[in-house]
Chains A and B, each alone.
Chain A
Amino acid sequence: MQMTDYKPKIVAFCCNWCSYAGADLAGNNRLSYPAEVKIIRVPCSCRVNPTFILRAFQRGADGVIICGCHPGDCHYTSGNYFARRRMALLFSMLDYLGIERERTRVEWVSAAEGAKFAATMNDFVSTVAALGENRRLEDLRCKK
């Protein structure tokens, strides 16, 4: 898709203890990534309800990424395992609905991985940008 000034809309859910802190560290180290990424803070990746992701796609998001602590490091011991399983199911359902796998992702980013956070976002944004706009679930009534 050749759209020169096309900017994908990306929603990133970050857990408070690891990934949100990892994003803060990326900031502290001035590691840039595209401004299209907007972060929503949640206590744990397990707080992310699949309906939040569906809602984002309905409202015109082009990609949604969920970031949590590495397996075994969850502040609440097991939250990221729940998130991993729930998202695996949701993503395969979305895939079935025609939303490409590449538009969704679960990543583990620790509070010490500022560089990984920035690299992940750079990669995710360019992957989603290459896919172009997501129209599959978008509810055009919301667009007024």
Chain B
Amino acid sequence: MQRIGVFVCWCGSNIAATVDVEAVSQALKDEPGVVFSTNYQYMCSQAGQDLIKQAVAEHGLTGIVICSCSPRMHETTFRRAAAAAGLNPYMVEIANIREQCSWVHKDIALGTQKAIVLGRAAVAKLHLNAPLTPGETPVTKRALVIGGGIAGIQTALDIADAGFKVDIVEKKPTIGGKMSQLDKTFPTLDCAACILTPKMVEAAQNENITIYSYSEVESVGGFVGNFDVTIRKKARYVNESICTGCGLCTEKCPVKNVPNEFNLGMDSRRAVYIPFAQAVPKVATIDPDYCNMLKNGKCGVCARVCTAGAIDYKQTDELIEQKYGAIVVATGYEPIKLDKFDEFAYNSSPDVITSLEFERLTNAAGPTSGKLLRPSDGKHPHRIVFVQCVGSRCAAAAGKGKEYCSKICCMYTAKQAMLVRDKYPDTEVYVFYIDVRTPGKNFDEFYRRAAEEYGVKYVKGMVGKISPQGEVLKVQASDLIAGRQLHIDADLVVLAAAIEPDRSARPLATMLTASMDTNDFFTEAHPKLRPVESPTAGVFLSGACQGPKDIPETVAQAGAAAAKVIGLLAKDKLTSNPCVASVDELMCNGCSSCERVCPYGAISYVNKEFRMPDRTVALRRVASVNPAVCQGCGACTVACMSGAMDLRGFEAKQIIAEVDAICK
């Protein structure tokens, strides 16, 4: 039998004005197991806490009930006070007689009666409380960053700076992401390469950072502080540690017609290639889909020309197993496919391009060495039409495109339009928009400069149809403000395609048990208060994989994610909430019902030996909860049909005791 002490708080007059606190403490004195009951002006004050300490010592209390304000307010305070008095902190129950009683019921008799009932329920529950101790798990002091765009690079640099080891896994042959393909960047117009490549080099040289390029995450097990990850390092048929990146092989390879993905297929590369001059790591990669030697064993030119002897046609995928304390997802975005937008003639005319293709066309390292030339005939375009919101902000009913705003297009279109007018003042530039959205520091000023100083013609209205006719593209559009139809003969059309999460994000989310929204962007643990954490403990989010973002925002989020990771890795041990699920193995029949409802993948199954009634020993499959992963929601407890699963701190018998006390 417990020895329970009851402490009724007046909360000054907050409780005492509408609840007769003396009557409450008197009434609760008669409850079974209650050996001490009192009331005091401010239980949360030092004097109040001393009162608890004294009563525990004097009356040999095993648990305490505080009738006071909401447990959301002072549960921690009273748990600490209990611990200071030598009790287990979980031997405390709070009856909320302020927010849910004295403040909402004006009638003293009714309020007092309800407070007594709430106190009784707390006493009834406390009888069934058991001391709980938070679990402790060690932390592996190494972080994994998935995706090597600006988000991943920045996160890794910040974590490495704090002295922790970080591995970057990037699926492409080089890190850098989309930013490495951009020309100049808004709102400052500094060149992307000038600000990105030093960071790429810094990442490569940082002794705390290991880059696994051309690699993907194969599997993820474990939990916060202790993830077990297998990384597949794909065969690039070049020995990375020997290759000097001289590029001789890429000049001599006889296979010349491979579409160059870095330039979005606007020119070609060889079967052995280095994506771009500043690639990190700067090593060659052989494309097995095009290499003659790998396809039919005939060629071997690259092996012959490589003076370092780095070519290795026999290389195979390598599986690397590593333990991590934290994982950061930074898988970024991709522009959507425009197959469903026939009206814009993207697939039928080479002179209708996407904005990302436009970045390559104006980039000095791009297919035209930075000269703005039409892809079809290499002529200089004299009239360019930019179309915003292609596939963004679409009605769900349209059956194509995305409902959300891609956020970055208004600004990069203003940037591109401005740069064209700056470099080629003879070129006429139109921008068609639904709204121009520029909520960012110096963003609206930037857009107004494009329109006012650079003479970019902004037209509010949608483009209805683009039809290639001879050398020109006939653009049919509406001008909503003037209220008329426009017909423009354009030389080049640039479509601001919506952006969507990388397609590999969904399988990755499944591996990580991290959740995604309906658009496959990773969801944050709380949209306002925990924006860089995923709901899965130990998994963090950085960059455009969480939602459309420009570079400044990406970098800010990358730093925030790094700070969270550092906070986690700085701990030697993680203490976890002890109010977690627990299985009665004798009752569990291993049916898997609980595993299916757990949102965190906290439940697994183990085979255990049991002594059967006939004295034989049998092996049975039973559920096992990982207390470091379980968040204590209780979904599994109800799913369990055999009643084997219960939730510590909120056990079925405790809740039923409360129900009984209330209904008495």
Distance in angstroms between the alpha carbons of A60 and B267 in the assembled complex? 79
- The 8 A CB mask of A98-118 against B (1 = contact, 0 = none) is 000000000000000000001
- The 8 A CB mask of A44-83 against B (1 = contact, 0 = none) is 1011111110011001110000000000000111110010
Asked, given contacts A35-B113, A118-B104, whether A44 binds B656 with beta carbons under 8 Å apart, the answer is: no
B110 touches A42 (CB 8 A): no
Residues of A within 8 A of B650 (CB): 42-43, 47
Min distance, Cβ A133 to any Cβ of chain B, angstroms: 12
Residues of B within 8 A of A56 (CB): 659, 662-663
Pick from B104, B597, B638: contact of A32, CB under 8 Å:
B104
- The 8 A CB mask of B61-73 against A (1 = contact, 0 = none) is 0000000001111
Residues of A within 8 A of B103 (CB): 27-28, 30
B281 contacts the other chain (CB 8 A): no
B104 touches A76 (CB 8 A): no
A38 touches B104 (CB 8 A): no
Distance in angstroms between the alpha carbons of A39 and B633 in the assembled complex? 18
B659 touches A35 (CB 8 A): no
- Count of A-B contacts judged by CB separation below 8 Å: 130
Task: Please tell me which stretch of B92-100, B342-350, B492-500 contacts chain A, meaning at least 4 of its Cβ atoms lie within 8 angstroms of it.
Answer: B92-100
Distance in angstroms between the alpha carbons of A75 and B650 in the assembled complex? 17
Distance in angstroms between the alpha carbons of A76 and B579 in the assembled complex? 14
B663 touches A32 (CB 8 A): no
Residues of B within 8 A of A9 (CB): 662-663
A21 contacts the other chain (CB 8 A): yes
B33 contacts the other chain (CB 8 A): no
Distance in angstroms between the alpha carbons of A78 and B103 in the assembled complex? 32
A38 touches B118 (CB 8 A): yes
B660 contacts the other chain (CB 8 A): yes
B contacts with A, residue count (CB < 8 A): 46
Min distance, Cβ B105 to any Cβ of chain A, angstroms: 5
Pick from A11, A24, A43, A78: contact of B663, CB under 8 Å:
A11
A129 contacts the other chain (CB 8 A): no
Pick from B105, B118, B637, B659: contact of A11, CB under 8 Å:
B659
- The 8 A CB mask of A20-36 against B (1 = contact, 0 = none) is 11011011101111010
Asked, given contacts A32-B105, A78-B599, whether A49 binds B660 with beta carbons under 8 Å apart, the answer is: no
Min distance, Cβ B199 to any Cβ of chain A, angstroms: 34
Residues of A within 8 A of B5 (CB): none
Residues of B within 8 A of A75 (CB): 633
A82 touches B96 (CB 8 A): no
B638 touches A77 (CB 8 A): no
Pick from A11, A39, A48, A59: contact of B638, CB under 8 Å:
A48
B565-580: which have CB < 8 Å to A?
A: 579
Min distance, Cβ B79 to any Cβ of chain A, angstroms: 15
A88 contacts the other chain (CB 8 A): no
A130 contacts the other chain (CB 8 A): no
B107 touches A46 (CB 8 A): no
Distance in angstroms between the alpha carbons of A31 and B117 in the assembled complex? 21
Residues of B within 8 A of A79 (CB): 599, 633-635
Asked, given contacts A38-B121, A42-B650, A44-B634, whether A59 binds B110 with beta carbons under 8 Å apart, the answer is: no
Asked, given contacts A9-B663, A35-B114, A48-B638, whether A43 binds B99 with beta carbons under 8 Å apart, the answer is: no
Residues of A within 8 A of B105 (CB): 32, 35
B106 contacts the other chain (CB 8 A): yes
- The 8 A CB mask of B606-649 against A (1 = contact, 0 = none) is 00000000000000000000000001111101110000000100
Extra contacts besides A30-B103, A56-B662 (15): CB < 8 Å: A24-B100, A28-B99, A33-B104, A39-B96, A44-B633, A46-B597, A49-B652, A49-B655, A52-B659, A61-B659, A61-B663, A77-B523, A77-B599, A79-B633, A86-B638
Give the interface of A toward B (CB within 8 A): 9, 11, 16, 20-21, 23-24, 26-28, 30-33, 35, 38-44, 46-52, 55-56, 59-61, 75-79, 82, 86, 118
9 contacting pairs across A/B (C-beta < 8 A): A16-B72, A26-B104, A28-B103, A35-B101, A40-B659, A47-B650, A61-B663, A78-B635, A86-B638
Report the 8 A-B pairs with minimum CB-CB distance, sorted nearest first.
A27-B99, A47-B634, A59-B663, A76-B633, A27-B103, A46-B635, A24-B99, A35-B110
